[in-house]
Amino acid sequence: MHCSTAEALFDGRLEGTLNAHQRARLDAHLDGCRSCSAVLEELRVIDALLLAPRALEPAPNFTFKMMAEIRSMPLPQRVRATWPWMFALYLALSWLAIGAWFAIGRPDGHAALTIIAGSLQHLVAAAAGVARALGSTTIAGIVTIVLVADAALLTGILYVHARFARRVNA
């Protein structure tokens, strides 16, 4: 019998499901092969460890030690909400970028600003519809703040564009 054939029979030997002929052949191989005997012995030890019931007990004073460690940890700090500032910065920079693009003297700048102003009116109507549909004054307030900021930035862009247009034409 080869070692690979014997290894395939190890589970049956440990579980006692081998027939008499298979068991005799395996025993003959184990008598002559030290490595297979060592592997089978390791499997017996592992099975014994896995089958033995074990009760896990926590260390003495586990709760006291754990609570002392928790008490020594720093208190959690409230995280300040930075997203409104990040949103305002994004809004300002995006409108400044658009304004700079128009201020460079694009010939279609005035027409594009007129389209943006018209789109802003549609956005206001859409925001009001969303606020009514959701029935939330908080959402309506947030949308209103965003739209006012957009309108203010758009007005600034129109002013800067008109001023640069006068300089370019003069």
pLDDT value at 115 more than 80: no
Closest to 131 measured CA to CA, from 121, 141, 140, 123: 140
The reply to whether 132 falls in a domain is: yes
The reply to whether 57 falls in a domain is: no
Average pLDDT over residues 14-38: 88
The pLDDT tens digits of the residues spanning 58-70 come to: 888 899 999 999 9
Closest to 30 measured CA to CA, from 50, 47, 13: 13
The pLDDT tens digits of the residues spanning 122-159 come to: 666 766 666 666 666 666 666 666 766 776 776 676 66
The pLDDT tens digits of the residues spanning 4-21 come to: 888 888 888 888 888 988
Total number of domains constituting the chain:
2
Element (H, E) at 78: none
pLDDT value at 72 more than 80: yes
Residues 90, 42 within the same domain = no
pLDDT category at 47 given cuts 50, 70, 90 is confident
The reply to whether 110 falls in a domain is: yes
The reply to whether 59 falls in a domain is: no
Residues 111, 45 within the same domain = no
Can you give the residue range of the structural domain that contains 138?
Answer: 83-169
**pLDDT at position 68, please?**
93
**pLDDT at position 138, please?**
64
Average pLDDT over residues 92-100: 70
Question: Between residues 73 and 90, which one has the greater pLDDT?
Answer: 73
Residues 93, 42 within the same domain = no
Average pLDDT over residues 157-162: 68
C-alpha–C-alpha distance, residues 103 and 96, integer Å: 10
Closest to 142 measured CA to CA, from 62, 84, 61: 84
Mean pLDDT of the chain: 76
C-alpha–C-alpha distance, residues 147 and 124, integer Å: 7
